[in-house]
Structure 1
Amino acid sequence: MNAYRAKPLTYPWPPFLYVLAMLGAVALGRSAPIAVAHSQGWIPWLAGAALVLIALFLDIWAMKTLIERHTAVLPHRGSSHLVTCGPFRFTRNPIYLGYTIMMVGFGLITLNPWFFILASASVALTTAFAIRNEELHLLSRFGFEFERYCRATSRWI
């Protein structure tokens, strides 16, 4: 039996990775701040708050869609159904995209460039170590149907 068929990950580490990245951005913002001109006043804060709300909406919509389709929400559990509706019509990873958008939003709210830097690193690490394993899991479970979905829907945006 294919090792990826049962479950994609042994631990649900992408949410943990994003939390660590956010904490790292806060710590680096305090210990090694990067100067940012912020003459626009409240505009970055409003844009950041809007992005955080969009990210929350996207994450909740994606989780609700997975629950309605009776499949796993956490990335360390095996999928019972291939979900291609809801936010999954637009991106194969709406929850991770939501985490990334949230980090960018917090970066704008706090005017801390470390959020942008660590969001980029989180995207790279999540793609390399989590998404690829999840995709192998889905490919082994759903075969051609998943391949067709991958051709029609981008991994991130």
Structure 2
Amino acid sequence: MNAYRAKPLSFPWPPVLYGAAALAALFFNHFFPIPVANGPGWFAWLVGGALIFAAISIDLWAVKTLLDRRTAILPTRCATCLVTCGPFRFTRNPIYLGYTLLMVGIGLVTANPWFFIAAITAVALTTLFVIRNEEQHLLSRFGFEFERYCRHTTRWI
């Protein structure tokens, strides 16, 4: 099968990676808690809540943008068009950015530092094993147009 018809991924790894990272944060906090001075204060709750709200908003905006363009949302499907509008104007991976902000927000609200470590780990694994495959797929499908998009839009923020 040629690269043009190949799917970017054979399994939807990002939700699994971030879900496993969240479970690992809960597990490690239970068995190896990191002490936090005075627990979560009102400021941590406020910032964490804002991050959670922003994460959900970014994810919904990205999904709506993909649906409006009638292209694949799941990373196991081939893209039918290159989406460069909506949240994709600011980042090439708004859904994964939303997952990461959600992890950080939950970490702030629950005063669980393991969520920050889990978020960093999930970002690294997603970049290595998911985003690179997706970008290779988009490059094979859209060529120069995707290269130009990459020059003007960052991968994460």
The alignment partner of 1:33 has SS state of: coil
| 1:90-128 deviation digits (Å, cap 9, x = unpaired) | 000000000000000000001111000010000000000
Q: Partners in 2 of 1:151 and 1:137 — Cα distance?
A: 17
1:3, distance to aligned residue in structure 2 (A):
3.6
Relative to structure 1, the CA distance from residue 2 to residue 19 in structure 2 (aligned partners, 3 Å threshold; closer, same or farther) is same
Q: Which residue of 2 aligns with 1:109?
A: 109
Query: TM-score, normalised on structure 1?
Result: 0.96
- Range that drifts further, 23-32 or 79-88: 23-32
Q: Which residue of 2 aligns with 1:147?
A: 147
Q: Does 1:121 align with 2:112?
A: no
CA RMSD of aligned residues (A): 1.2
Structure 1 stretches of 5 or more lacking a match? Answer: none
| 1:34-54 deviation digits (Å, cap 9, x = unpaired) | 111136721101110110000
The alignment partner of 1:6 has SS state of: coil
Letter aligned with residue 99 of structure 1? Y
Q: Partners in 2 of 1:85 and 1:34 — Cα distance?
A: 41
Question: Following TM superposition, where does structure 1 have runs of at least 4 consecutive aligned residues deviating by more than 6 angstroms?
Answer: none
Query: TM-score, normalised on structure 2?
Result: 0.96
Mapped contact 2:65–2:85 kept (Cα < 8 A): yes
Q: Partners in 1 of 2:13 and 2:89 — Cα distance?
A: 24
Percent identity reads 66
- Range that drifts further, 92-101 or 5-14: 5-14
